[in-house]
A and B are shown apart, each in its own frame.
Chain A
Amino acid sequence: MSVDSTVQDPKQDTATAEDAKWKPKILAFTCNWCTYAGADLAGLNRMKYPADVRLLRVPCSGRVNPQFVLHAFLKGCDGVLVCGCHPGDCHYATGNYFTRRRMLLYRRFLEYFGIEPERFMVKWISGSEAGKFRDTVIEASEAVNKLGPNYKYREEGR
Protein backbone atom coordinates (compact mmCIF):
# COMPACT_ATOMS: atom_id res chain seq x y z
CA MET A 1 0.00 0.00 0.00
CA SER A 2 1.41 3.39 -0.98
CA VAL A 3 1.14 6.40 1.28
CA ASP A 4 0.47 9.82 -0.24
CA SER A 5 2.80 12.28 1.50
CA THR A 6 0.96 15.39 0.28
CA VAL A 7 -2.14 14.63 2.35
CA GLN A 8 -2.62 17.18 5.17
CA ASP A 9 -4.80 15.18 7.51
CA PRO A 10 -4.36 11.52 6.73
CA LYS A 11 -7.05 10.43 9.19
CA GLN A 12 -9.76 12.61 7.69
CA ASP A 13 -8.71 11.65 4.19
CA THR A 14 -8.96 7.95 4.97
CA ALA A 15 -12.45 8.45 6.35
CA THR A 16 -13.70 10.20 3.21
CA ALA A 17 -11.93 7.71 0.98
CA GLU A 18 -13.56 4.88 2.92
CA ASP A 19 -16.94 6.56 2.70
CA ALA A 20 -16.54 6.96 -1.07
CA LYS A 21 -15.74 3.27 -1.44
CA TRP A 22 -18.41 2.30 1.06
CA LYS A 23 -21.01 -0.25 0.12
CA PRO A 24 -23.82 -1.16 2.48
CA LYS A 25 -23.35 -4.28 4.53
CA ILE A 26 -26.73 -5.82 5.26
CA LEU A 27 -27.13 -8.99 7.26
CA ALA A 28 -30.26 -11.00 6.48
CA PHE A 29 -31.46 -13.70 8.86
CA THR A 30 -33.40 -16.02 6.60
CA CYS A 31 -35.59 -18.85 7.76
CA ASN A 32 -34.53 -22.20 6.34
CA TRP A 33 -38.03 -23.25 5.29
CA CYS A 34 -39.33 -20.11 3.54
CA THR A 35 -37.09 -17.15 2.92
CA TYR A 36 -33.95 -19.15 2.21
CA ALA A 37 -35.89 -21.14 -0.38
CA GLY A 38 -37.34 -17.86 -1.71
CA ALA A 39 -33.84 -16.44 -2.11
CA ASP A 40 -32.78 -19.64 -3.85
CA LEU A 41 -35.69 -19.29 -6.27
CA ALA A 42 -34.71 -15.67 -6.94
CA GLY A 43 -31.25 -16.95 -7.89
CA LEU A 44 -32.65 -19.72 -10.10
CA ASN A 45 -34.78 -17.15 -11.93
CA ARG A 46 -31.69 -14.99 -12.46
CA MET A 47 -33.28 -12.06 -10.68
CA LYS A 48 -31.07 -9.01 -10.26
CA TYR A 49 -30.69 -7.45 -6.82
CA PRO A 50 -27.92 -5.53 -5.04
CA ALA A 51 -25.11 -7.70 -3.73
CA ASP A 52 -25.11 -5.82 -0.40
CA VAL A 53 -26.97 -8.49 1.47
CA ARG A 54 -25.36 -11.44 3.27
CA LEU A 55 -27.71 -14.28 4.03
CA LEU A 56 -27.50 -16.12 7.31
CA ARG A 57 -29.64 -19.21 7.40
CA VAL A 58 -31.49 -19.90 10.63
CA PRO A 59 -33.85 -22.83 11.34
CA CYS A 60 -36.73 -20.45 12.06
CA SER A 61 -37.21 -16.72 12.42
CA GLY A 62 -37.99 -17.55 16.05
CA ARG A 63 -34.33 -18.53 16.41
CA VAL A 64 -33.32 -14.90 15.91
CA ASN A 65 -32.50 -13.66 19.37
CA PRO A 66 -32.88 -9.86 19.51
CA GLN A 67 -29.29 -9.65 20.66
CA PHE A 68 -28.17 -11.08 17.29
CA VAL A 69 -29.57 -7.94 15.70
CA LEU A 70 -27.81 -5.58 18.10
CA HIS A 71 -24.57 -7.53 17.68
CA ALA A 72 -24.77 -7.16 13.91
CA PHE A 73 -24.93 -3.38 14.31
CA LEU A 74 -22.12 -3.33 16.88
CA LYS A 75 -19.87 -5.43 14.65
CA GLY A 76 -20.29 -3.13 11.68
CA CYS A 77 -23.43 -4.02 9.73
CA ASP A 78 -25.30 -1.06 8.28
CA GLY A 79 -28.62 -2.84 8.11
CA VAL A 80 -30.30 -5.98 9.36
CA LEU A 81 -33.11 -7.97 7.78
CA VAL A 82 -35.07 -10.61 9.63
CA CYS A 83 -37.17 -12.77 7.32
CA GLY A 84 -39.39 -15.73 7.99
CA CYS A 85 -42.48 -17.61 6.91
CA HIS A 86 -45.81 -15.85 6.83
CA PRO A 87 -47.79 -16.16 10.08
CA GLY A 88 -49.61 -19.46 9.92
CA ASP A 89 -46.99 -21.07 7.67
CA CYS A 90 -44.26 -21.70 10.23
CA HIS A 91 -42.61 -25.10 9.83
CA TYR A 92 -42.60 -25.33 13.63
CA ALA A 93 -46.23 -24.14 13.77
CA THR A 94 -45.83 -21.13 16.11
CA GLY A 95 -42.23 -19.86 15.85
CA ASN A 96 -42.94 -16.75 13.83
CA TYR A 97 -45.84 -15.65 16.05
CA PHE A 98 -43.31 -15.21 18.84
CA THR A 99 -40.89 -13.49 16.45
CA ARG A 100 -43.64 -11.08 15.48
CA ARG A 101 -44.29 -9.97 19.07
CA ARG A 102 -40.59 -9.80 19.92
CA MET A 103 -39.61 -7.82 16.84
CA LEU A 104 -42.56 -5.42 17.16
CA LEU A 105 -41.09 -4.37 20.49
CA TYR A 106 -37.42 -4.60 19.53
CA ARG A 107 -37.69 -2.37 16.46
CA ARG A 108 -39.18 0.38 18.59
CA PHE A 109 -36.61 -0.30 21.28
CA LEU A 110 -33.61 0.14 18.97
CA GLU A 111 -35.20 3.24 17.48
CA TYR A 112 -35.38 4.67 21.00
CA PHE A 113 -31.59 4.40 21.24
CA GLY A 114 -31.13 6.30 18.00
CA ILE A 115 -30.76 3.51 15.42
CA GLU A 116 -32.89 4.48 12.43
CA PRO A 117 -35.81 2.05 11.95
CA GLU A 118 -35.06 1.82 8.21
CA ARG A 119 -31.87 -0.05 9.07
CA PHE A 120 -33.77 -2.89 10.70
CA MET A 121 -36.47 -4.55 8.60
CA VAL A 122 -38.61 -7.57 9.33
CA LYS A 123 -40.47 -9.25 6.45
CA TRP A 124 -42.45 -12.38 5.84
CA ILE A 125 -41.26 -13.99 2.58
CA SER A 126 -42.45 -17.43 1.56
CA GLY A 127 -40.57 -20.00 -0.52
CA SER A 128 -42.36 -18.99 -3.69
CA GLU A 129 -42.01 -15.23 -3.26
CA ALA A 130 -38.71 -14.76 -5.10
CA GLY A 131 -39.89 -11.40 -6.39
CA LYS A 132 -40.74 -10.20 -2.92
CA PHE A 133 -37.29 -11.25 -1.72
CA ARG A 134 -35.69 -9.24 -4.53
CA ASP A 135 -37.90 -6.21 -3.80
CA THR A 136 -37.14 -6.41 -0.08
CA VAL A 137 -33.40 -6.51 -0.67
CA ILE A 138 -33.64 -3.59 -3.12
CA GLU A 139 -35.75 -1.63 -0.63
CA ALA A 140 -33.36 -2.33 2.26
CA SER A 141 -30.31 -1.51 0.17
CA GLU A 142 -31.81 1.77 -1.05
CA ALA A 143 -32.80 2.78 2.48
CA VAL A 144 -29.35 2.02 3.88
CA ASN A 145 -27.61 3.72 0.94
CA LYS A 146 -29.62 6.82 1.70
CA LEU A 147 -28.70 6.77 5.39
CA GLY A 148 -25.02 6.01 4.81
CA PRO A 149 -22.75 3.89 6.99
CA ASN A 150 -23.86 3.16 10.53
CA TYR A 151 -21.40 4.35 13.16
CA LYS A 152 -23.83 4.31 16.05
CA TYR A 153 -22.62 2.09 18.92
CA ARG A 154 -20.15 0.51 16.47
CA GLU A 155 -17.20 -1.26 18.02
CA GLU A 156 -14.36 0.24 16.00
CA GLY A 157 -15.90 3.67 16.29
CA ARG A 158 -15.08 6.15 13.60
Chain B
Amino acid sequence: MASTQDIQSAIRARAGKLLQKEVISCFIGWEAGRFEGQSSPLVVRSAADAQKLIYNDYCVQLLAKYLLTENCSEGKVGVAVRGCESRGINLALKDGQLQRENLHLVGIACQGVKDFSTKEELKKCQECTHRNPIIYDDLIGSEVTDGPRVEDTFAEVIELEALSHDERYEYWSAVFTRCIRCKACRDVCPGCTCNECFTDQAAMGWQGKQSSLAENANYGITRMFHSGERCIECGECERVCPARLPLMQINRKVLKDAYDIFGEYVVGIDDCTPNPLDTYLLEDVEEFM
Protein backbone atom coordinates (compact mmCIF):
# COMPACT_ATOMS: atom_id res chain seq x y z
CA MET B 1 0.00 0.00 0.00
CA ALA B 2 1.42 3.33 -1.06
CA SER B 3 1.26 6.30 1.31
CA THR B 4 -0.56 9.43 0.15
CA GLN B 5 2.82 11.19 -0.04
CA ASP B 6 4.09 8.54 -2.48
CA ILE B 7 0.88 8.80 -4.48
CA GLN B 8 1.25 12.59 -4.65
CA SER B 9 4.79 12.45 -6.01
CA ALA B 10 3.79 9.70 -8.47
CA ILE B 11 0.85 11.79 -9.76
CA ARG B 12 3.11 14.81 -10.22
CA ALA B 13 5.76 12.76 -12.03
CA ARG B 14 3.31 11.01 -14.35
CA ALA B 15 1.25 14.08 -15.12
CA GLY B 16 4.42 16.04 -15.80
CA LYS B 17 5.81 13.34 -18.09
CA LEU B 18 2.56 12.92 -20.01
CA LEU B 19 2.24 16.67 -20.50
CA GLN B 20 5.87 17.03 -21.55
CA LYS B 21 5.60 14.24 -24.12
CA GLU B 22 2.33 15.84 -25.27
CA VAL B 23 0.47 12.56 -24.84
CA ILE B 24 -2.23 14.58 -23.09
CA SER B 25 -3.16 18.23 -23.43
CA CYS B 26 -4.27 18.64 -19.82
CA PHE B 27 -4.44 16.73 -16.58
CA ILE B 28 -7.19 16.89 -13.97
CA GLY B 29 -6.21 16.41 -10.33
CA TRP B 30 -6.40 18.31 -7.07
CA GLU B 31 -4.61 21.40 -5.79
CA ALA B 32 -4.19 22.66 -2.25
CA GLY B 33 -6.82 25.08 -1.04
CA ARG B 34 -6.15 28.27 0.89
CA PHE B 35 -6.35 26.56 4.28
CA GLU B 36 -4.90 23.36 5.60
CA GLY B 37 -6.97 20.33 4.70
CA GLN B 38 -8.72 22.11 1.85
CA SER B 39 -8.43 21.02 -1.75
CA SER B 40 -10.05 21.82 -5.04
CA PRO B 41 -9.95 20.23 -8.49
CA LEU B 42 -7.27 21.61 -10.78
CA VAL B 43 -6.77 21.40 -14.53
CA VAL B 44 -3.06 21.43 -15.33
CA ARG B 45 -1.97 22.40 -18.83
CA SER B 46 1.84 22.48 -18.61
CA ALA B 47 4.50 20.16 -17.22
CA ALA B 48 5.76 22.88 -14.88
CA ASP B 49 2.31 23.30 -13.34
CA ALA B 50 2.16 19.57 -12.55
CA GLN B 51 4.03 20.39 -9.33
CA LYS B 52 0.87 22.14 -8.10
CA LEU B 53 -0.97 18.81 -7.93
CA ILE B 54 -1.50 17.30 -4.51
CA TYR B 55 -2.90 14.12 -3.06
CA ASN B 56 -3.79 13.61 0.59
CA ASP B 57 -6.54 12.28 2.82
CA TYR B 58 -8.70 15.35 2.18
CA CYS B 59 -9.04 15.22 -1.61
CA VAL B 60 -12.78 14.79 -1.35
CA GLN B 61 -13.95 16.01 -4.76
CA LEU B 62 -15.03 13.56 -7.44
CA LEU B 63 -13.14 14.38 -10.64
CA ALA B 64 -15.35 12.44 -13.07
CA LYS B 65 -17.78 15.34 -13.40
CA TYR B 66 -14.95 17.75 -14.30
CA LEU B 67 -14.25 15.76 -17.46
CA LEU B 68 -17.76 16.68 -18.57
CA THR B 69 -17.90 20.29 -17.44
CA GLU B 70 -14.34 21.62 -17.87
CA ASN B 71 -13.43 22.91 -21.27
CA CYS B 72 -10.38 20.70 -21.68
CA SER B 73 -9.22 21.86 -25.12
CA GLU B 74 -8.43 19.47 -27.95
CA GLY B 75 -6.79 16.08 -27.58
CA LYS B 76 -6.40 13.61 -24.80
CA VAL B 77 -7.19 14.42 -21.21
CA GLY B 78 -5.39 12.84 -18.28
CA VAL B 79 -7.22 12.35 -15.02
CA ALA B 80 -6.57 10.78 -11.63
CA VAL B 81 -9.12 8.03 -11.01
CA ARG B 82 -10.12 6.24 -7.84
CA GLY B 83 -12.94 3.70 -7.59
CA CYS B 84 -15.73 6.27 -7.60
CA GLU B 85 -14.22 8.26 -10.48
CA SER B 86 -13.78 5.15 -12.61
CA ARG B 87 -17.44 4.21 -12.13
CA GLY B 88 -18.49 7.74 -13.05
CA ILE B 89 -16.31 7.65 -16.16
CA ASN B 90 -17.72 4.26 -17.17
CA LEU B 91 -21.22 5.69 -16.84
CA ALA B 92 -20.30 8.67 -19.02
CA LEU B 93 -18.65 6.36 -21.59
CA LYS B 94 -21.79 4.23 -21.69
CA ASP B 95 -23.96 7.33 -22.12
CA GLY B 96 -21.77 8.46 -25.00
CA GLN B 97 -20.62 11.55 -23.12
CA LEU B 98 -16.92 10.69 -23.32
CA GLN B 99 -14.68 8.73 -25.67
CA ARG B 100 -12.27 6.25 -24.16
CA GLU B 101 -9.51 7.06 -26.66
CA ASN B 102 -9.56 10.67 -25.48
CA LEU B 103 -8.80 9.71 -21.89
CA HIS B 104 -5.64 8.76 -20.08
CA LEU B 105 -6.57 7.41 -16.66
CA VAL B 106 -4.03 7.36 -13.85
CA GLY B 107 -5.41 4.92 -11.29
CA ILE B 108 -5.16 5.35 -7.53
CA ALA B 109 -6.25 2.65 -5.09
CA CYS B 110 -8.16 4.65 -2.51
CA GLN B 111 -8.19 4.11 1.24
CA GLY B 112 -11.05 6.55 1.70
CA VAL B 113 -10.89 10.30 2.27
CA LYS B 114 -11.52 12.19 5.49
CA ASP B 115 -13.40 15.19 6.72
CA PHE B 116 -10.76 17.69 7.86
CA SER B 117 -12.80 19.08 10.75
CA THR B 118 -13.53 15.71 12.35
CA LYS B 119 -10.58 13.70 10.94
CA GLU B 120 -13.06 10.91 10.34
CA GLU B 121 -13.59 9.02 7.12
CA LEU B 122 -16.43 10.51 5.05
CA LYS B 123 -19.75 8.68 5.11
CA LYS B 124 -19.54 8.09 1.36
CA CYS B 125 -16.15 6.38 1.77
CA GLN B 126 -17.30 4.21 4.66
CA GLU B 127 -20.03 2.88 2.37
CA CYS B 128 -17.72 2.53 -0.64
CA THR B 129 -17.78 -0.85 -2.35
CA HIS B 130 -15.20 -0.21 -5.08
CA ARG B 131 -12.00 1.34 -3.74
CA ASN B 132 -9.84 0.24 -6.64
CA PRO B 133 -10.32 1.91 -10.00
CA ILE B 134 -12.25 -0.34 -12.39
CA ILE B 135 -10.60 1.09 -15.50
CA TYR B 136 -7.22 2.78 -15.74
CA ASP B 137 -4.25 3.05 -18.08
CA ASP B 138 -1.63 2.84 -15.36
CA LEU B 139 -1.98 2.27 -11.66
CA ILE B 140 -0.03 4.00 -8.91
CA GLY B 141 1.00 1.57 -6.18
CA SER B 142 -0.95 -1.62 -5.67
CA GLU B 143 -4.63 -2.39 -5.24
CA VAL B 144 -6.30 -2.33 -1.82
CA THR B 145 -8.49 -5.08 -0.48
CA ASP B 146 -10.81 -3.09 1.82
CA GLY B 147 -14.52 -3.62 1.41
CA PRO B 148 -17.31 -1.37 2.70
CA ARG B 149 -17.03 -0.51 6.38
CA VAL B 150 -20.82 -0.36 6.69
CA GLU B 151 -22.65 -3.64 6.82
CA ASP B 152 -25.91 -2.83 5.06
CA THR B 153 -26.05 0.38 3.05
CA PHE B 154 -29.80 -0.10 2.57
CA ALA B 155 -30.52 -0.18 6.31
CA GLU B 156 -31.78 3.44 6.40
CA VAL B 157 -34.07 2.82 3.42
CA ILE B 158 -35.54 -0.30 5.00
CA GLU B 159 -36.16 1.63 8.22
CA LEU B 160 -38.05 4.33 6.31
CA GLU B 161 -40.04 1.80 4.32
CA ALA B 162 -41.38 0.36 7.56
CA LEU B 163 -43.12 3.67 8.39
CA SER B 164 -46.69 4.48 7.39
CA HIS B 165 -47.39 6.73 4.39
CA ASP B 166 -48.24 9.70 6.58
CA GLU B 167 -45.14 9.29 8.71
CA ARG B 168 -43.00 9.10 5.61
CA TYR B 169 -44.69 12.21 4.20
CA GLU B 170 -43.88 14.04 7.42
CA TYR B 171 -40.28 12.91 7.27
CA TRP B 172 -39.75 13.91 3.65
CA SER B 173 -41.67 17.17 3.87
CA ALA B 174 -39.35 18.13 6.75
CA VAL B 175 -36.40 17.24 4.52
CA PHE B 176 -37.64 19.10 1.43
CA THR B 177 -38.65 22.16 3.45
CA ARG B 178 -34.97 22.57 4.33
CA CYS B 179 -33.86 22.38 0.67
CA ILE B 180 -32.68 25.75 -0.66
CA ARG B 181 -32.64 24.57 -4.29
CA CYS B 182 -29.04 25.61 -4.86
CA LYS B 183 -28.81 22.66 -7.28
CA ALA B 184 -25.35 21.76 -6.01
CA CYS B 185 -26.40 18.08 -5.96
CA ARG B 186 -27.11 18.27 -9.67
CA ASP B 187 -23.90 20.13 -10.46
CA VAL B 188 -21.67 17.50 -8.84
CA CYS B 189 -23.62 14.43 -9.95
CA PRO B 190 -21.64 12.42 -12.53
CA GLY B 191 -24.96 10.96 -13.71
CA CYS B 192 -26.46 14.41 -14.48
CA THR B 193 -25.22 15.01 -17.99
CA CYS B 194 -28.15 16.72 -19.74
CA ASN B 195 -27.07 19.77 -21.73
CA GLU B 196 -30.09 21.56 -20.34
CA CYS B 197 -31.53 20.43 -17.02
CA PHE B 198 -35.32 20.36 -16.64
CA THR B 199 -35.00 22.96 -13.87
CA ASP B 200 -33.36 25.38 -16.30
CA GLN B 201 -36.04 25.07 -18.95
CA ALA B 202 -37.79 28.20 -17.73
CA ALA B 203 -40.10 28.44 -20.73
CA MET B 204 -41.34 24.89 -20.14
CA GLY B 205 -42.21 25.74 -16.56
CA TRP B 206 -41.21 22.43 -15.03
CA GLN B 207 -39.62 24.11 -12.06
CA GLY B 208 -41.38 27.05 -10.42
CA LYS B 209 -39.48 29.80 -8.69
CA GLN B 210 -41.44 29.83 -5.44
CA SER B 211 -39.79 28.77 -2.26
CA SER B 212 -42.31 26.16 -1.18
CA LEU B 213 -42.53 22.53 -0.21
CA ALA B 214 -44.22 21.67 -3.51
CA GLU B 215 -41.47 23.22 -5.65
CA ASN B 216 -38.69 21.77 -3.49
CA ALA B 217 -40.27 18.32 -3.62
CA ASN B 218 -40.71 18.67 -7.37
CA TYR B 219 -37.01 19.41 -7.73
CA GLY B 220 -35.84 16.76 -5.28
CA ILE B 221 -38.04 13.90 -6.44
CA THR B 222 -37.62 14.55 -10.15
CA ARG B 223 -33.86 15.09 -10.06
CA MET B 224 -33.31 12.01 -7.95
CA PHE B 225 -35.39 9.90 -10.32
CA HIS B 226 -33.44 11.25 -13.31
CA SER B 227 -30.13 9.99 -11.93
CA GLY B 228 -32.04 7.30 -10.07
CA GLU B 229 -31.10 3.79 -11.07
CA ARG B 230 -27.87 5.11 -12.65
CA CYS B 231 -26.51 6.31 -9.29
CA ILE B 232 -22.90 5.22 -8.78
CA GLU B 233 -23.26 5.81 -5.03
CA CYS B 234 -20.37 8.27 -4.92
CA GLY B 235 -22.28 10.23 -2.29
CA GLU B 236 -21.17 13.58 -3.72
CA CYS B 237 -24.71 15.03 -3.63
CA GLU B 238 -24.94 14.41 0.09
CA ARG B 239 -21.44 15.76 0.72
CA VAL B 240 -22.00 19.07 -1.08
CA CYS B 241 -25.54 19.68 0.20
CA PRO B 242 -25.42 22.88 2.27
CA ALA B 243 -28.65 21.88 4.00
CA ARG B 244 -27.20 18.44 4.87
CA LEU B 245 -30.16 16.59 3.40
CA PRO B 246 -30.03 12.76 3.48
CA LEU B 247 -30.01 12.50 -0.31
CA MET B 248 -28.44 9.05 -0.49
CA GLN B 249 -31.55 7.68 1.20
CA ILE B 250 -33.41 8.71 -1.95
CA ASN B 251 -30.82 7.33 -4.40
CA ARG B 252 -30.58 4.06 -2.50
CA LYS B 253 -34.36 3.64 -2.61
CA VAL B 254 -34.31 3.60 -6.41
CA LEU B 255 -31.31 1.29 -6.44
CA LYS B 256 -32.88 -1.07 -3.92
CA ASP B 257 -36.09 -1.34 -5.93
CA ALA B 258 -34.17 -1.73 -9.17
CA TYR B 259 -32.12 -4.56 -7.63
CA ASP B 260 -35.32 -6.21 -6.38
CA ILE B 261 -37.12 -5.95 -9.71
CA PHE B 262 -34.39 -6.25 -12.34
CA GLY B 263 -31.76 -8.21 -10.44
CA GLU B 264 -28.54 -6.93 -8.89
CA TYR B 265 -26.12 -4.93 -10.97
CA VAL B 266 -23.28 -2.50 -10.38
CA VAL B 267 -23.56 0.86 -12.09
CA GLY B 268 -20.38 1.75 -13.94
CA ILE B 269 -18.77 -1.70 -13.69
CA ASP B 270 -18.22 -1.57 -17.45
CA ASP B 271 -18.99 0.76 -20.34
CA CYS B 272 -21.43 -1.41 -22.29
CA THR B 273 -24.14 -3.00 -20.08
CA PRO B 274 -27.26 -0.86 -20.53
CA ASN B 275 -28.87 0.75 -17.48
CA PRO B 276 -32.11 -0.98 -16.42
CA LEU B 277 -34.38 1.81 -17.67
CA ASP B 278 -32.60 2.00 -21.04
CA THR B 279 -33.58 -1.52 -21.93
CA TYR B 280 -36.36 -4.05 -21.34
CA LEU B 281 -37.12 -7.74 -21.31
CA LEU B 282 -40.28 -9.36 -22.61
CA GLU B 283 -40.54 -11.34 -19.38
CA ASP B 284 -40.23 -8.35 -17.03
CA VAL B 285 -42.25 -8.28 -13.81
CA GLU B 286 -45.91 -7.63 -14.64
CA GLU B 287 -47.98 -5.66 -12.15
CA PHE B 288 -50.27 -3.73 -14.43
CA MET B 289 -52.44 -6.44 -15.99
Which residues of A does B touch, CB under 8 Å? 66-67, 70-71, 74, 87-88, 94, 97-98, 100-116, 122-124, 152-155, 157
Chain B, residue nearest A74 (CB): B214
Q: Could you say which of A94, A101, A116 contacts B262, with CB atoms under 8 Å apart?
A: A101
Q: Cβ of A114: which chain B residues have Cβ within 8 Å of it? A: 165-173
Q: When the two chains form their complex, are residues B218 and A113 in contact, meaning their CB atoms are under 8 A apart? A: no
Known: A74-B218, A114-B169, A152-B169. Is A87-B282 also a contact (CB below 8 A)? yes
Q: Could you say which of A71, A111, A122 contacts B165, with CB atoms under 8 Å apart?
A: A111
Q: When the two chains form their complex, are residues A123 and B288 in contact, meaning their CB atoms are under 8 A apart? A: yes
| Inter-chain residue pair count (beta carbon < 8 A) | 104
A125 CB, min distance to chain B CBs, angstroms: 10
B35: interface (CB < 8 Å): no
Chain B, residue nearest A75 (CB): B214
Q: Which B residues from 218 to 263 make CB contacts under 8 A with A?
A: 218, 221-222, 225, 228-229, 250, 253-254, 257-258, 261-262
Chain B, residue nearest A125 (CB): B288
17 A-B pairs with C-beta separation under 8 A: A66-B225, A67-B206, A67-B222, A71-B218, A101-B277, A104-B257, A104-B261, A107-B287, A108-B253, A112-B160, A112-B168, A112-B253, A114-B166, A124-B289, A152-B173, A153-B173, A153-B217
Chain B, residue nearest A104 (CB): B261
Q: Cβ of B168: which chain A residues have Cβ within 8 Å of it? A: 112-114
Q: Could you say which of B165, B212, B285 contacts A104, with CB atoms under 8 Å apart?
A: B285
B6: interface (CB < 8 Å): no
Interface size on B, residues (CB 8 A): 42
B213: interface (CB < 8 Å): yes
Q: When the two chains form their complex, are residues B165 and A98 in contact, meaning their CB atoms are under 8 A apart? A: no
Which residues of B does A touch, CB under 8 Å? 160-161, 165-173, 198, 206, 212-215, 217-218, 221-222, 225, 228-229, 250, 253-254, 257-258, 261-262, 276-277, 280-282, 284-289
Chain B, residue nearest A108 (CB): B257
Q: Could you say which of A87, A105, A152, A155 contacts B261, with CB atoms under 8 Å apart?
A: A105
B229 CB, min distance to chain A CBs, angstroms: 7
Known: A74-B217, A98-B277. Is A106-B169 also a contact (CB below 8 A)? no
A28 CB, min distance to chain B CBs, angstroms: 14
Chain A, residue nearest B287 (CB): A104
* A109 vs B276: C-alpha distance when bound (angstroms): 15
Chain A's interface: helix, strand, loop or mixed, by majority?
A: helix
Known: A97-B280, A97-B284, A102-B277. Is A109-B225 also a contact (CB below 8 A)? yes
Chain B's interface: helix, strand, loop or mixed, by majority?
A: helix
Q: When the two chains form their complex, are residues A113 and B217 in contact, meaning their CB atoms are under 8 A apart? A: yes
* A114 vs B176: C-alpha distance when bound (angstroms): 13
Chain B, residue nearest A116 (CB): B165
A97 CB, min distance to chain B CBs, angstroms: 4
A68 CB, min distance to chain B CBs, angstroms: 10
Q: Could you say which of A98, A106, A153 contacts B214, with CB atoms under 8 Å apart?
A: A153
Known: A74-B214, A87-B282. Is A105-B221 also a contact (CB below 8 A)? no
Between A66, A104, A115, the greatest number of chain B beta carbons within 10 A of the residue's beta carbon is seen for A104
Q: When the two chains form their complex, are residues A113 and B221 in contact, meaning their CB atoms are under 8 A apart? A: yes
Q: Cβ of B221: which chain A residues have Cβ within 8 Å of it? A: 70, 109-110, 113
Q: Cβ of A101: which chain B residues have Cβ within 8 Å of it? A: 261-262, 276-277, 280, 284
Q: Cβ of B285: which chain A residues have Cβ within 8 Å of it? A: 104
Q: Cβ of A154: which chain B residues have Cβ within 8 Å of it? A: 214
Q: Cβ of A105: which chain B residues have Cβ within 8 Å of it? A: 225, 228-229, 254, 257-258, 261, 277
**What are the 8 A-B residue pairs with the smallest beta carbon separation, nearest first?**
A114-B169, A97-B280, A114-B168, A155-B214, A122-B288, A153-B217, A108-B257, A67-B222
Q: Cβ of A87: which chain B residues have Cβ within 8 Å of it? A: 282, 286
Between A109, A110, A115, A154, the greatest number of chain B beta carbons within 10 A of the residue's beta carbon is seen for A109
* A44 vs B129: C-alpha distance when bound (angstroms): 59
* A98 vs B250: C-alpha distance when bound (angstroms): 22
Chain A, residue nearest B207 (CB): A67
Q: Cβ of A104: which chain B residues have Cβ within 8 Å of it? A: 257, 261, 284-285, 287
* A64 vs B232: C-alpha distance when bound (angstroms): 26
B168 CB, min distance to chain A CBs, angstroms: 4
